[in-house]
Amino acid sequence: MIQDSAKALARKRRIHAIIMVVLILVFIAFIFPFILVVINVFKEKVDIVKDPLSLIGVKKGFTLENFPNAIQKMDFFKAFANSLIITVSSTILTLLLSSMTAFVIVRNKWKACALLFAAMVASMVIPFQVLMVPLVSLYGGIFGVLNHRLTLILMHTGFSLSMATFMFHGAIHTNIPLELEEAAFIDGCTRWQTWWKIVFPLLKPTIATVAIIDAMAFWNDYLLPSLVLQKKELYTIPIATQAFYGTFSSDLGLIMAALLLAMLPILILYVLLQRFIVEGVTSGAVKG
């Protein structure tokens, strides 16, 4: 009996070790392109071509010249400002509107609320590519409102509301007791004050999760901004990076610097808020 238990324990340990090795290999495969960017961003073109896996360039050595050159030629700060304005505005609007919508749907048993929630969930399966041509034709050809940051902000908000409302719906339904709202009502709070002072502050994990998911999507989105923003002064980071690559594709050092500059802001945001991700996804996905 003891020998069987020991064999079973040894078998479990071997399986666990194999799983860990496989996961480590998969992680290395996914992170390898990022490692290559970080290694080669501090080298000149000749060293990148000659030995892309070396930590320091053999001929030119260590250099920081790629960063100022990429910032100047890419007009990085203007593209960064555009991306920052669009991402922050779209994320804030999505958080506020989706949490309010979820609050109304959860706390009211109207048929209209149920139909609205069902429609929002159903809309999540519609691919954006289906809407591309009508979107550009309608807002560009008929209304003529393209080439405006506000247009892109409202489009980002509209396309992200369904998923965010779904997550807030589960979080409010599961984690916010109705008794808290009843107590706030007895103390004289209106529905607006109850949402803002009681419900919304208790949704921090879900807020952080939705903020990370949407901010990453807005910051990295290329397709929708490329359809809406045609003027160079309105380019976001992904569009500016693509235009920069088309011009300086032969200078690998500049390309690596541009890629690293483009990913750093959203990477920093993820590191700062990552502790909320698991808790937020769990609280938003469970329905009681």
Backbone angles phi, psi at 145, to 5 degrees: -110, 10
112-116, 140-144, 281-285: range with lowest mean pLDDT: 281-285
> 10 pLDDT band (50/70/90 cuts)?
confident
Tens-digit pLDDT profile for residues 192-243: 889 998 899 999 888 988 988 898 899 989 999 998 988 889 999 889 888 8
* Percent residues over pLDDT 70 in the chain: 92
> Is the alpha carbon torsion for 225, 262, 277, 23 positive or negative?
positive
Tens-digit pLDDT profile for residues 139-170: 777 777 888 899 999 999 999 999 999 999 99
Return d(Cα 84, Cα 265) in angstroms, integer.
Answer: 9
Whether the model pTM is above 0.85: no
Residue 68 burial (CB count, 10 A): 11
118 vs 252, higher pLDDT: 118
Answer whether 286's CB lies under 8 Å from 229's CB: no
Tens-digit pLDDT profile for residues 42-74: 888 777 777 777 777 666 677 888 888 888 888
DSSP string, the chain: -HHHHHHHHHHHHHHHHHHHHHHHHHHHHHHHHHHHHHHHTTS-HHHHHH-TT-SS-SSS-S--THHHHHHHHHTHHHHHHHHHHHHHHHHHHHHHHHHHHHHHHHH---HHHHHHHHHHHHHTTS-HHHHHHHHHIIIIIIS---S-HHHHHHHHHHHHHHHHHHHHHHHHHHHS-HHHHHHHHHTT--HHHHIIIIIGGGGHHHHHHHHHHHHHHHHH--HHHHHH--SGGG--HHHHHHHHHHHHTT-HHHHHHHHHHHHHHHHHHHHHHGGGHHHHHHHHH---
> 1 pLDDT band (50/70/90 cuts)?
low
